[in-house]
Structure 1
């Protein structure tokens, strides 16, 4: 569905309303800078029957006024109004290659489907806390390639265990894709069918996937923290029925070491 690294960050980090940068100590109202590196086990594309382990380096600069620069979240602004957490950012979707360029990119299972080009995205999110449960709604709107469509993701997070050094939580999300998005990533046109051998298929708007997982954050000291996630993603609706989908249910694993100062 998406460039592998983008898919990893979106799917696995969606289990928590916090970014990598928030796993270490709070910034005490000031600016902060976070650096880290992780490893993730993810499919070559949504619905692929092959997976791979990818490195996930990331950087994030957060300012006290709410602005942030992040390889994870893009360039944006976050604030809180009457209990609602609001954020808007300019991000980037790396697209999808129809052949395996190297170990990190593309899949030969998509030969003949054509490339999905990378595009800038507007990422808008609103969150609200109900007791200990966090709820969120995020939309991603393509700016460079409007024909690729948009997605809307409902998220939920809840703590399971908390101590001075460890936090374990549960997260779940459901992603809805509009008609253009679903056709781009899961549909097969007559021309693509002739080139790839897949049968022609029209994907309609609907819920694309549901994802659930458990995340564990361990604080080593005032600067260092480790974050791990174990989850599973299940394609639904027309995404699950697409001829491109070889495996509907996919396990995903990630671990990352974070340093904040």
Structure 2
């Protein structure tokens, strides 16, 4: 049921975009995926430093870093990328529609890092492969949906839906828009459920089983400056609030918080390869 919501949102967005462009767009070029292989690729490597909660639901903050990667064909028109997008590349790429594989890395939960989480189980780092869809109803507005499945840290399905208003001012690109994350029962219970043994060991909370649904809602914004054709720097921030089953969990109500703030900066470098 949860992921019918994601699929419906993405489908409606795509249909709406198609209708808006049908009247005034020229014939859409063939997808880039069908182009000759010898055209090569443009690879963008990213490094990001971010201040954010130590893990899901925690009130304690820490500094961390992570890499990023995106790939596109030479000659493709510029496409916006938000700092909180998963990393991947478009297999289908038209002026108003993109689709392709995506992946994210979700941080671990080391309960010893936050005193109130004593007795709670640790959760390993998770890799979440999946797919994304993007549509542009107009040039300055992007709607993006991701659907992924976790391995290692969790084995649930998780989805993200976002929208961004985008403006370019010379070498600067500014974006702002809402965010929503959804998880199935396996995902939600892994991060927000409390077993009887955990409750007994912690002593402050009672057992809790989290159901699937909307995990959080919020907003994110970013400013990117293109130093050159190859280099760019980005500053960004976000606010997300746990809702539904996640907000009702003792993880948020007793041990941590429903509110999460994020601030960070990133550096990107793009180069061509002939694969």
| Partners of 2:159 and 2:68 in 1: CA distance | 25
Instruction: Call closer, same or farther: CA 1:250–1:63 in 2, change over 3 Å.
Output: closer
Mapped contact 1:121–1:144 kept (Cα < 8 A): no
- How many angstroms apart in 2 are the aligned matches of 1:195 and 1:124? 39
Question: Matched residue of 1:99: which SS?
Answer: helix
CA contact (8 A) 2:124 2:152 kept: no
Q: Deviations over 1:38-94 (max 9, x none)?
A: 3211011122111112234x253636399xxxxx856x6522266431111455545
Contact kept? 1:38, 1:257, Cα under 8 Å: yes
Distance 1:121 1:251 in 2: 22
Aligned residue among 125, 129, 135 for 2:132: 125
Shifted more, 110-119 versus 191-200: the winner is: 110-119
Residue 184 of structure 1 and its aligned partner are, at CA, apart by 1.0
- Is residue 170–residue 212 contact of structure 1 (8 Å, CA) maintained in 2? yes
In structure 2, stretches of 5+ residues that fail to align are 1-38, 77-84
Q: Is the 8 A contact 2:105 2:125 kept in 1?
A: yes
Q: Which has the larger radius of gyration?
A: 2
Q: Which residue of 2 aligns with 1:17?
A: none
Verify: 1:181 aligned to 2:187, yes or no.
yes
Shift of 1:143: 4.2
Unmatched runs of 5 consecutive residues or more in structure 1 = 1-28, 67-71, 101-106
Q: Aligned ranges for residues 70-109 of structure 1 at < 5 Å?
A: 73=86, 77-80=89-92, 83-89=96-102, 92-100=105-113, 107-109=114-116
Output the TM-score relative to the length of structure 2.
Answer: 0.70
* Structure 1 length-normalised TM: 0.73
Determine the C-alpha separation between the residues in 2 that align with 1:48 and 1:133.
33
2:73 is matched with: 64
Partner-residue secondary structure (3-state), 1:148: coil
* Number of matched pairs: 218
1:250 aligned to 2:265?
no
Q: Which residue of 2 aligns with 1:137?
A: 145
**Counterpart position of 1:163:** 169
CA distance in 1, matches of 2:233, 2:157: 33
Q: 1:86 to 1:188 in 2, by over 3 A?
A: same
Cα deviation 1:171-226 (Å, max 9, x = unaligned): 22111111111111111111211122222112121110012022101111222211
Structure 1 counterpart of 2:47: 37
Cα distance, 1:47–1:221 mapped onto 2, change above 3 Å: same
Secondary structure of the structure 1 residue equivalent to 2:90: strand
Residue aligning to 2:197: 191
Distance in 2 between residues matched to 1:164 and 1:237, nearest whole Å: 42
> What's the CA shift string for 1:220-244, capped at 9, x where partnerless?
1222211111221111112112111
Pairwise CA RMSD: 2.7
